[in-house]
Structure 1
Amino acid sequence: MYKPNFYKREVFVFRRFGRKGYSLFACLGREVVISTLSAFTLTHATAKGVSIKPIKADTIAAATDREMILGEVSVTGTRAPLASGRTVRMVRVLTKADIAAAPAQSVNDLLKLAVGVDVRQRGPIGAQTDVSIRGGNYEQIAILLNGVNICDPQTGHNAFDFPVDISEIERIEVLEGPAGRVYGTSSLSGAINIVTSSPMRTSAYARAEGGSYGYASAAVRLALSGGNAGNSISGSYTRSDGYSRNKAGGLNADYSGGKAFYQGAYAGDGIAVRWHAGMSIKDCGANTFYGVSSDDQFEHTMKTYTALQAEARAGAFRLRSSIYWNHGADRFEYFRGSEVKSPFNYHRSDVFGVSVGGYFDSPLGRTSVGAELRNEDVVSTKLGEPLSRPHHIHGTDRDYKYGLNRTNVNLMLEHNVVWRGLTVSAGLVAAKNSWNDMNMRVYPGVDISYAIGRSLTVFASCNTSLRMPSVTELYYSVDGHKADKYLKPEELTAFEGGVRYASGAVQAEASVYHNRYKNMIDWVRHTSDGPDASWESVNFTRINALGVEASLRLGLDRLMPSQHVLHSLAVSYGYIDQDKANTDGLESKYSLEYLRHKLVASLGVSVVRNVSLGLSCRWQDRTGIYTDTGGMKQSYSPYAVADARLEWLVRPCKMYVEANNLLNTTYVDYGNVPQPGFWFVAGASVEL
């Protein structure tokens, strides 16, 4: 289901030469045709692929500017755009068609099908999920919305509270490994970019669905475009009674939430602008999410996102800039509805960011520079240093009495060289954070690939990065937790090498990577101190991890054109081994609980005309132990889960039935929170 970016040969047609030594820099590796035709093609490259559009000769400048990356913001693995065939690092892409065919109700469910991604779900439908990449933890990845960093400095637990419904997403892009020189220091182990549908296409969409456990969901979207501008607005609502109950018989996994999202775009001569504003509100029963002494926890979150992005040309220099503001408010109840047993925890975060950069071509290659300033301000009833002046919490008789304000500066430099089949991308990020008076630190990286013929490519990379501790890791000392405000930043050096093959209906890839973590942060407790031992945030000195990933995708309809039933087959496998493991007397919440094995397979079948069936299965085996509600140590057991989606499509209408956990498997992704057994969803949608 996830499609890697493989080498594709592209065609360029020139009307005249620029008479510069580097005129063909962006065209190396493509077929070049010299012609005097008045109409020709230009391309822009994204992680999704290559778009080729016919353009009249007298509109060359305007068309070139309108084909800027801004219109399709992508995780490309480099700061400056390269043709997809020259992309050095692997970017896995889940397309809109893949999203529509998947038996999933949230982004979290979709990411389960990526072999390098670990989705530790505490509740379905996106109630609360920790997502990590290649054995890291949920704090170590950068989450982006249309290329804008929306990471929460308070905690990564709520990082996937997106303001967009799943039907609004054009594609999801996953970049595995450190991406500091591309997206800054929050991307220690990788990045996930959510790209929404373009507002430049007039369209309308509506969906309604319902299913097990009182599940119901509805969404609408309207986009209007005209001339050089476009606007779209969408909204959705989802609710469920939940699949479990507390000891008193009440709901403790119920969920309700709404999303609203507006975005606009303008493409003019020499400039492209895009903007968005969104809101996500969520209430969910938190079961035993953050401790076994209460089986009736509750959490309310509200987040807003605003951003303005622009790209322009200044001579030979392409200038990019963005400014954004992310706001979040969270109320956590360890005992639902009862402040007598434990006072509610209130948190509010505001993140302001601005970035500027660009790239230019020269006889030596393509050079990119950039700078980002990001200010994170968190106020809380529990987290941070005492405030000089408390802030009142609206709607309560409480005050925010603690907080933390810190500013992070990233300076990025990267240079790309393309020569015949060889592509080299090298650069660095220099980072300084005002927290703890951290000095400027520099983290370099280099990626190399070489194309052997049209189908085979070998690649290797070495990248480094760091991550600042979250405010929760620094200060959460409540309800059996003890934080350390003197934690050191995490650091990672990652090596990777592999090979990929793409020819017609066959796509394959295999890679080996070695991650060397320094000062990795985790919550641990000493079980020898008894069942009431506190969880403590600590820096592990070093962790070394060795991983292997392999994937194969077959277009069965192309390999066997005589049959019209089997459409596609995809199989992928991942393996990780760390040199640290759980020892007697020590229990880890995250770092030592990683997926040692993960196997994912999906099959697309055409049942009859206009009716298709999608099947997916994943098997995974997690290391680590946890303490159950009876105080006994338990090891995670391997499990297999199968899902299916049956769809009838006669445009513009679609009807579908989804079945999750067909085998009714009993399993846990995290500690004492069992996942639901078999459940189904039925729905219909219309798109104009």
Structure 2
Amino acid sequence: MYQLYFKRQPAIRFSRFSRKGYALFACLGREVLVGVLSVATLANAKAEGIGAKTELATDSLTRRELKLDEVVVTGSRAPLTALQSAKMVTVISRDEIRRAAATSIQDILKLAQGVDVRQRGPMGVQTDISINGGTFDQITILLNGMDIGSPQTGHNAADFPVALEDIERIEVLEGAAARVFGSSAFSGAINIVTRREAQNSLGLSSEGGSYGTIAAGGFLNLATGKVRQRMSGGYGQSDGGTENTYFRMRRTFYQGDFSGRRFDLFWQAGITSKDYGAGTFYGLKSDNQYEATRRLIASVGGRLRGLPASLVVEPMLYGHRDWDHYQWIKGKTGAAAGENFHRTDVYGASLNMHLVWALGRTALGGDLRRERIRSTAYGERLSPEDWRGIHGSSRQYERLGERTNTSIFLEHDVVLRRWTLSMGLLANGNSWLGGGLRFYPGIDLAFRPATGWKLFASWNKALRLPTYTDLYISNRAQMGDLHLRPERVSTFRLGANLRQTGWEARTGVFYSRGRDMIDWVFETSASTRYHALNIGRLDNMGASVDVKWLPREWWPLCPIASVRLGYAYIHQRHDTSQPIFRSLYALEYLRHQLTAEVDHHLFSRLSAHWALRWQRRMNGYHPYAKIDGKLLWTARRFSLFLQADNLTAHRYYDLGGVRQPGLWIMAGGNVRF
């Protein structure tokens, strides 16, 4: 049971320490919280970064949650502290994830300001994620710093092998970031950072609810000496909330790390497997589509420390293989019936080095990435002797597409008392483009006028290559174009963060100047297939504000834990020499996005979380409001929840003719040993 403490003094949190002998006398009679803020960059983010809790084996603070005044990570090649960071990065903490009325990572991202999540299937079966008016192919998605995007299509980029229980935090970086992540970070990046625990533990969870939905999962942490390991897995299935949207999902994830005196090692591997009814996902002419995807990912990296001149060297090897089996009409096989198979292989090596010297912090790195697709529909046609068999089918991979991407990064950061200046450059070459290296610069500036205040300004450029779907697809609903040109963008951003006791706020404006943008369009009213096309100039201009009230930092007994309100607005300007009758993605941006959340205590161990999302999408969509709720009972070793998605049972559309389900109720719990 919760205990009430009267005459309790507020805690003092130190951001600076003095050597003066009298410095701590003012703290007599009050609680003093001392914690260490660990910061990881998006570029080389590891699970040991910022956490909500600090592991203190013998300290009285072991079971006390330490509230960090700043939980901000940087997006630079060289690690910078939260105070020094020159990037605007939204961090969704583990506690926020636990309390949210969400069943998937995709549901969590819906509440991040500026992020557009367009679900086809429920519970994250298939989701298009974009940032600031971009498209789903224009962002980089990372798992512990590893790029897991696919050159086949961005539709399946969010096939995560981890569950919400595995996640420590989610980092969202808005705006072009090619000089940090490479050419695919066109409009932003999302990094999923998983948990790493220094104690042995076992956890089990299960849930069930509407439309025959059931799911179960578990994890095991093993910590022996300098080695920590975590294994997790899960299974879920449902009949789906609308016609032919059933699914079966399986996932397995393993990670580990070793900490030595001069070097660290970290590794991860994951498998996802999905089979689902694809309803009208890719066209209204068939409501009995089917898709199955498989993904295998792995990476191993290290950090070599203790070298001369404060040099740190961080190598990484990574790779993932994706399988995609699609049928226009479930059960009908063969190319003539609209059945396709694809196998995509991505593998590469990266190296990042950074050092601290008299003029600042300098980072130099490179990445060599190989992309290959074997397909029945995408790529150049092979001679019959080079065809490869397809497991479980009499068909063969008859086509092949290959390209190699080379990236060289250079960045320098100047960190002063109130200022941070970060300048960088990406030199990129791709075998598909030819013509040598192309250069994409960027600059970020942060100013800290007073405690708790930070002002930002940035300018960055980026490039995005067409996917193999953009280039080669040809079916009853879509037609690719081999003559597509890469997309180009310059992004300008201004913003401010304010953090004071009891509340925090952030606001920003941006202007994205895009050229040769790619979209799927009907060129005339008589068109029957969407055509991949460079639609010309596309400029996105927008502003956002996000305010959070934390009354318990003033009054610890307040029943309201937090109240958050956010709003984002985007205006788009499009100019093309070709007529466009209808757009499928790029022109279907969110003009208005309003989000509100309330987290409060009810009684005993019972708390509640409520979330409202109102949005208006352009290009013929009706605006709608959606309300979600969650009741959470938390004990020391277990928790129980009851949550409802779409309490008003409003039937809405996020993408094309894919109707979303009404009220969806789930109940479940987890136990930890």
What TM-score, normalized by structure 2, do the two folds share? 0.89
**What's the counterpart of residue 300 of structure 2?**
308
Aligned length in residues: 620
Q: CA deviation at 1:581?
A: 8.5
SS, match of residue 83 in structure 2: helix
**What's the counterpart of residue 272 of structure 1?**
264
SS, match of residue 125 in structure 1: helix
**What's the counterpart of residue 627 of structure 1?**
none
Alignment of 1:281-430 (within 5 A): 281-313=273-305, 314-315=307-308, 316-339=310-333, 342-388=337-383, 389-430=386-427
**What's the counterpart of residue 133 of structure 2?**
135
Q: CA deviation at 1:612?
A: 0.3
Taking a change above 3 Å as real, the CA distance of residues 157 and 13 of structure 1, as seen in their structure-2 partners, is farther
Query: Does the 8 Å CA contact 1:74/1:147 hold for their aligned counterparts?
Result: no
Q: CA deviation at 1:527?
A: 3.8
Query: Does the 8 Å CA contact 2:179/2:424 hold for their aligned counterparts?
Result: yes
Q: CA deviation at 1:609?
A: 1.5
**What's the counterpart of residue 644 of structure 1?**
629
Query: Does the 8 Å CA contact 2:52/2:93 hold for their aligned counterparts?
Result: no
| % identity of equivalent residues | 39
Taking a change above 3 Å as real, the CA distance of residues 183 and 13 of structure 1, as seen in their structure-2 partners, is farther
Taking a change above 3 Å as real, the CA distance of residues 11 and 44 of structure 1, as seen in their structure-2 partners, is farther
Q: Deviations over 1:341-399 (max 9, x none)?
A: 61410000111110002100111000011000000010100001112411111121111
**What's the counterpart of residue 485 of structure 1?**
482
Distance in 2 (CA, whole Å) between partners of 1:53 and 1:659 is 33
Taking a change above 3 Å as real, the CA distance of residues 392 and 13 of structure 1, as seen in their structure-2 partners, is farther
**What's the counterpart of residue 17 of structure 1?**
none
Q: CA deviation at 1:558?
A: 2.7
Query: Does the 8 Å CA contact 2:376/2:397 hold for their aligned counterparts?
Result: yes
Alignment of 1:44-83 (within 5 A): 44-46=38-40, 49=50, 76-83=74-81
Aligned-residue CA RMSD in angstroms? 2.1
Task: Determine which of 247, 250, 257 is the counterpart of 1:258.
Answer: 250
Distance in 1 (CA, whole Å) between partners of 2:399 and 2:197 is 41
**What's the counterpart of residue 111 of structure 1?**
109
Query: Does the 8 Å CA contact 1:42/1:52 hold for their aligned counterparts?
Result: no
Distance in 2 (CA, whole Å) between partners of 1:51 and 1:417 is 29
Q: Deviations over 1:48-88 (max 9, x none)?
A: 65899899xxxxxxxxxxxxxxxxx9962111111111111
Amino acid paired to 1:166: L
**What's the counterpart of residue 455 of structure 2?**
458
Distance in 2 (CA, whole Å) between partners of 1:419 and 1:232 is 39
**What's the counterpart of residue 648 of structure 2?**
663
Q: CA deviation at 1:305?
A: 0.5
Taking a change above 3 Å as real, the CA distance of residues 616 and 42 of structure 1, as seen in their structure-2 partners, is closer
**What's the counterpart of residue 28 of structure 2?**
none
Alignment of 1:396-545 (within 5 A): 396-530=393-527, 533-545=528-540
Alignment of 1:138-153 (within 5 A): 138-153=136-151
Query: Does the 8 Å CA contact 1:134/1:576 hold for their aligned counterparts?
Result: yes
SS, match of residue 98 in structure 1: helix
Query: Does the 8 Å CA contact 2:52/2:95 hold for their aligned counterparts?
Result: no
Distance in 1 (CA, whole Å) between partners of 2:36 and 2:596 is 37
Taking a change above 3 Å as real, the CA distance of residues 377 and 54 of structure 1, as seen in their structure-2 partners, is closer
SS, match of residue 106 in structure 2: helix
Query: Does the 8 Å CA contact 1:140/1:187 hold for their aligned counterparts?
Result: yes
Taking a change above 3 Å as real, the CA distance of residues 209 and 641 of structure 1, as seen in their structure-2 partners, is same
Taking a change above 3 Å as real, the CA distance of residues 347 and 209 of structure 1, as seen in their structure-2 partners, is same
Taking a change above 3 Å as real, the CA distance of residues 299 and 560 of structure 1, as seen in their structure-2 partners, is same
Taking a change above 3 Å as real, the CA distance of residues 144 and 331 of structure 1, as seen in their structure-2 partners, is same
Q: Deviations over 1:490-548 (max 9, x none)?
A: 11100011222111111111111000011111111124225xx2211111221111110
What TM-score, normalized by structure 1, do the two folds share? 0.87
Task: Determine which of 111, 123, 126 is the counterpart of 1:125.
Answer: 123
**What's the counterpart of residue 184 of structure 1?**
182
Task: Determine which of 536, 550, 559 is the counterpart of 1:555.
Answer: 550
SS, match of residue 435 in structure 1: coil
Gaps of 5+ in 2: 1-12, 20-33, 42-48, 57-70
Distance in 2 (CA, whole Å) between partners of 1:469 and 1:201 is 45
Query: Does the 8 Å CA contact 1:43/1:52 hold for their aligned counterparts?
Result: no
SS, match of residue 355 in structure 1: strand
**What's the counterpart of residue 628 of structure 1?**
none
SS, match of residue 86 in structure 1: coil
